[in-house]
Amino acid sequence: MTPLEAIRTHRLVPLVEIRDASTAGELAATFVAAGLPILEVGLRTEVAIEALRNAAAHKGSLTLAAGTVTSPEQVKLAMDAGADLIVSPGLNSLVIEYCIKNDIPIVPGVCTPTEIETARNYGLRTLKFFPAEAYGGVRTLRALGDVYKGFGFVPTGGINLQNLNDYMKLPTVVACGGSWMAPADTIQARKFDVIAEAVRQSVSLVKAMRGAS
């Protein structure tokens, strides 16, 4: 299964901020055991690359993404550390062109029609919609979906268990991303049982929606 296929299959992309790289291995194992073998490690801390490397060493079937990637140099560091996929907060042409040149899967961030059309010019059809809630959330995505057929959006930013259903109902939404399953403080405190329960709840919600559709 390719990284983009994994996103569409599991429909959830948990974003984590890791402050202690030694937690990454057990965190990766926790997600896999709880039924969600996909994880996005945000490059927001000084130990993020080390955390990626530790997660990769324990990932098994896990699809490992590097998030908050803003430069080609970060792409190279992340891929060398074991990432399978690059996720960027914005539509950075340098990052996109580097990934395309090196055959690296990428999900770039967009929030406007112009950015969507630019992504289309690069041949990219799976796009992160960020920051989702701040840019109109479901209403904006519904309007964009009416115009841009054939795109799959991964809204991230302000999504949680309370509004997850609303996003998942949109036909253009292939997955939802966010940190609600594993907040940074919970990871830091090594409360992996709490994280596992949040993952199971989220996975169950997605499965219930599939059963109802």
Cα(156)–Cα(147) distance, rounded to whole angstroms?
20
Which of 13, 75, 57 lies closest to 38, judged by CA?
13
- Measured in degrees and rounded to the nearest 5, phi and psi for residue 42 equal -75, 135
First to last CA, the chain: 24
Catalytically annotated residues: 40, 128
Cα angle 204, 208, 213 (rounded to 5 degrees) comes to 150
Cα(119)–Cα(124) distance, rounded to whole angstroms?
5
3-state secondary structure of 210: helix
C-alpha distances out from residue 15 to 33, 42, 91, 149, Å = 17, 7, 18, 27
